[in-house]
Amino acid sequence: MSNLIGGIRAPEAVVDEVSLGGKPPTPADGAFSKVFEQAVARVEQFQKDSQAKADSLLRGEDQEVHGVVLAAQRAELSFEYFLQVRNKVISAYQEIMRMQM
């Protein structure tokens, strides 16, 4: 049996991992659209992993229940975080559009 309990990390480290795949964006990475696409792809991957683990458990394959629950929580949290970031970006865009030049 493997040791599945890891060390405790700061919330910022978890947020970075969930939203950006473990690395923060830098100006050298490219345009905003590239960072956005990477974030969407990461959220989709968490969703796919969660679904695959749940399907595996339902088929009776060798899958631990807590692993399935953790994958589902990771997918849910990453989606909620992504949604909040999207809302902030839209809010900032709307605020900029209201500015008078």
Per-position pLDDT tens, the chain of length 101: 444 444 444 444 445 555 555 565 555 556 778 888 899 999 999 999 999 999 999 999 888 899 999 999 999 999 999 999 999 999 999 999 998 76
pLDDT at 63: 83
Name the domain count of the chain. Answer: 1
Count Cβ atoms below 10 Å from residue 97 Cβ, excluding itself: 7
pLDDT at 100: 77
- Residues with Cβ within 8 Å of 42's Cβ and at least 6 positions away in sequence, in order, are 18, 19, 20, 21, 78
In a domain, 37, yes or no: yes
pLDDT at 11: 46
Domain with 89 in it:
30-98
Helix pair angle (32-58, 11-20), 10° resolution: 90
In a domain, 63, yes or no: yes
In a domain, 3, yes or no: no
Q: How far apart are CA 77 and CA 57, in angstroms?
A: 21
Q: What would you report as the CA-atom Rg of the chain, rounded to the nearest whole angstrom?
A: 17
In a domain, 90, yes or no: yes
